[in-house]
Amino acid sequence: MSDARVDREAVRAEEIASEQQYLDVLYTKLDDLRQETTQRLKNTLRDSGGPPQAQTERDISTRMYTDRLTQLSAVEHGMCFGRLDLDSGETFHVGRIGLFDEENEYEPLLLDWRAPAARPFYLATAAARDDVRRRRHLRTSWRKVLDYEDEILDLDAAEEGSDLGLAGEATLLARLDARRTGQMQDIVSTIQAEQDRIIRAGMNGVLVVQGGPGTGKTAVALHRAAYLLYTFREQLSKRGVLVVGPNPTFLHYIGQVLPSLGETGVLLSTVGGLYPGITATAEESARAAEIKGRSSMIKLLTNAVKDRQQVPRDHVEVSFDREPLRITKADATHARTRARRTRKPHNLARKVFRREMFEALTLQVADRLGRELLDSRDLDDINNELRGDEAVDAALEQLWPEVTPQQLVDELFTDEKRLHTAARKVLDADERDELLRAPGSPWTPADVPLLDEAAEQLGEDDSAQRAEQERQQREELAYAQGVLHIMEQDEEIADEERLRVSDVLDAELLAERFQARSDLTAAERAAEDRTWTFGHVIVDEAQELSEMTWRVLMRRCPSRSMTLVGDVAQTGALAGTDAWDEVLSPYVQDRWKLAELTVNYRTPAEIMDIASDVLAEMDTDLEPPRSVRTSGHQPWVRAVDRSKLVSTLPEVVRSELGEVADGRLAVLMPAQLLAEIEPEITEALPSAAVGNGPDDLESPVVLLSVDAAKGLEFDTVVLVDPEAIVEGSDRGFNDLYVALTRSTQRLGVVQLEGLPHVLNETSFRRV
């Protein structure tokens, strides 16, 4: 070994030891913070009893300390991942959270990756150094420093350049080559410049992030959520951030990313979870979902609501005070017209309808008794008696009932007559038949936007709730005034100049602090409130959303502060979009910004070359993202007779598992084929998981439909019957494009009939 090499290794060992020493300091600080927070939580929980305000304050403190402990625990692995050496001689370490030395004027021990001072770690280049002399990427395993990679940005220094033009190339490639674990990993230590610019973009307006497979769209979206909460905490802590994902499996997959980035207060939801009290996960045909997603469903629901506002053909007779009483068509028509002219939602306009009807019936009773003999108090008494009569109330309820969104939508799709009435001039007979279902059928994700639209059109009579809230507020104010009075009486004032409590705190402010449910986070309150509006909304796989779903999300975010992440080349849903302008122009016209991710970090070039041929077949101007690496594994194809698939597939899976020890393998196939062979294949592969359960991705082998695999990644993908994938949908090429780009290492194709013409056989090796 040469002396020069010995010297380099000695220097490297010394540097690693130095970094280890500093890392020990950071983890000691982390342990101290955990211990301190744990003790404060114990003290808070130990406190019991006391007046209502003390209980409220205890609940708030409990939440605060619990969230802080969650944050401190989530950053344990990879807490510090980099260092910046500046021209000034200063050195800053960069990590997942900020740590400070309280005994030394709060000097930063560790910069939070979101802080402005940490931005050069991601953006500095040799051409634009931003005073950075050296950028160091640390590779750690829990609390141990394994290695480091230095980038010398000073052009006067002799240093070999990066092969790929990527920040922290060695660290990035090591991360990309690592085995999948079934949970998404953050990219905070390897964020590249184009990703960082999107993550740190301003909060105002709609930002569309268009990126092909493997460009890190989802990771960028989640890091953006963490960055916005850090930078605009005052605004967003009150309204919260909503992150919408395509399915529950995906939410489970990304579930640990935000805590590891230092954030725990974001609401994660699927479209099926956006209506409080309902979790819509049932499946339905793609065509039914597409029909429900059309904007024409607004008219259909409007018709369904109007169908609940009836008038009798001639009259309805009820008994009141042992005498017949007629609810006439003329009176009901007049009352309905007056109610509709208010333009209030159905359940609120119902009060006007009933008021008009009770007035008409009051006059009818008065005429029977002799109206000229009655005064206004007599008429009021009759009106009140009519309102309390069960028979009269039931008759009016038949004409204009109070309806819930669940009732309206459920009865619409289970009652052929109601659907026919509402869908006239909106849907044809075949489309109506597609939507009909059996009573008691579970909710599907496509039902949720309809429930939300129905809630808007029906409205909710919350006058009783508002009266109760006002009563509680009056009680809280009176209680607060009493507390202030007692506090002032108990003061021992030694100096007349001394401030009194009332000089700095009034009863209204004190009552505000005691308001009910203040212990809940914004995300928790939002999950219970359909009308909640968020400070920012992030949507992943946004290209899949229907027109009706966009209406829901725009209601949730009237400020239009949104980040929409997706790839129109991967649109699989029939109700999805091929162009961002089509879905955004009705809400923001052309006032939205487009940012593109162009580098593919996940998919090896060997696989991306094949996928690029599929992209070229689509009617799109999109360019395939550029892969930054090769895997060294040429994709393979194997012809299998359909009758032998169940017996052959386990053999294929076991062979591939031998190539990716400790990795994750996905078998992707058409949904119909998966349903057909599931009983037999699960018996032949007992260790394999099937479908969308939250724990399925933890299994070494998972069998999924292509749609269920969207947004996920695996070390190896075995794709079964690509021809059927192409033929199975109007967006078959989009689905094939998705399936081909889920792998980070190896791809195999099991061919049952033939290969789609778009797949070039010369790109595969035959096995």
Annotated binding-site residue numbers for ATP = 211-218
User: What kind and span of H or E run contains 40?
Assistant: helix 3-46
Binding residues: 211-218
Residues 6+ apart with CB under 8 A from 750: 637, 638, 640, 645, 648, 649, 652, 718, 719, 720, 721
Distance in angstroms (rounded) separating the CA atoms of residues 127 and 304: 64
C-alpha count within 13 angstroms, C-beta hemisphere, residue 505: 14
Distance in angstroms (rounded) separating the CA atoms of residues 260 and 74: 5
3-class SS of residue 155: coil
Q: Count other Cβ atoms within 10 Å, centred on residue 344.
A: 14
- The CA distances from residue 115 to 90, 118, 201, 228, in Å, are 17, 5, 13, 11
Beta bridge partners of 747: 717
Residues 6+ apart with CB under 8 A from 631: 604, 606, 607, 744, 745, 746
Distance in angstroms (rounded) separating the CA atoms of residues 170 and 722: 35
In this structure, which amino acid lies at residue 438?
A
Give the CA dihedral 555, 558, 561, 562, nearest 10 degrees: 20
Q: Tokens for 372?
A: 């000229």
Q: Count other Cβ atoms within 10 Å, centred on residue 343.
A: 8
Distance in angstroms (rounded) separating the CA atoms of residues 524 and 59: 14
Angle, in degrees to the nearest 10, between helices 405-414 and 447-458: 120
Distance in angstroms (rounded) separating the CA atoms of residues 701 and 392: 64
DSSP string, 474-543: HHHHHHHHHHHHHHHHH---S-TTSPPHHHH--HHHHHHHT-TTTTS-HHHHHHH-TT---SEEEESSGG
Distance in angstroms (rounded) separating the CA atoms of residues 536 and 526: 12
DSSP string, 207-222: EEEEE-TTS-HHHHHH
User: What kind and span of H or E run contains 206?
Assistant: strand 206-211
Yes or no: say if 670 and 724 are a contact pair by the CB < 8 Å rule.
Answer: yes
Distance in angstroms (rounded) separating the CA atoms of residues 555 and 266: 18
Yes or no: say if 533 and 508 are a contact pair by the CB < 8 Å rule.
Answer: no
Cα angle 710-713-718, degrees, rounded to a multiple of 5: 90
C-alpha count within 13 angstroms, C-beta hemisphere, residue 604: 18
Give the CA dihedral 466, 468, 470, 475, nearest 10 degrees: -170
Yes or no: say if 538 and 567 are a contact pair by the CB < 8 Å rule.
Answer: no
Phi, psi of 744 (to 5 degrees): -100, -10
- The CA distances from residue 433 to 23, 279, 761, in Å, are 65, 25, 43
Phi, psi of 529 (to 5 degrees): -125, 110
Distance in angstroms (rounded) separating the CA atoms of residues 389 and 361: 12
Q: Tokens for 123?
A: 């953006």
Which value, in Å, is the radius of gyration of the alpha carbons in the chain?
32
Phi, psi of 296 (to 5 degrees): -65, -15
Distance in angstroms (rounded) separating the CA atoms of residues 746 and 636: 9
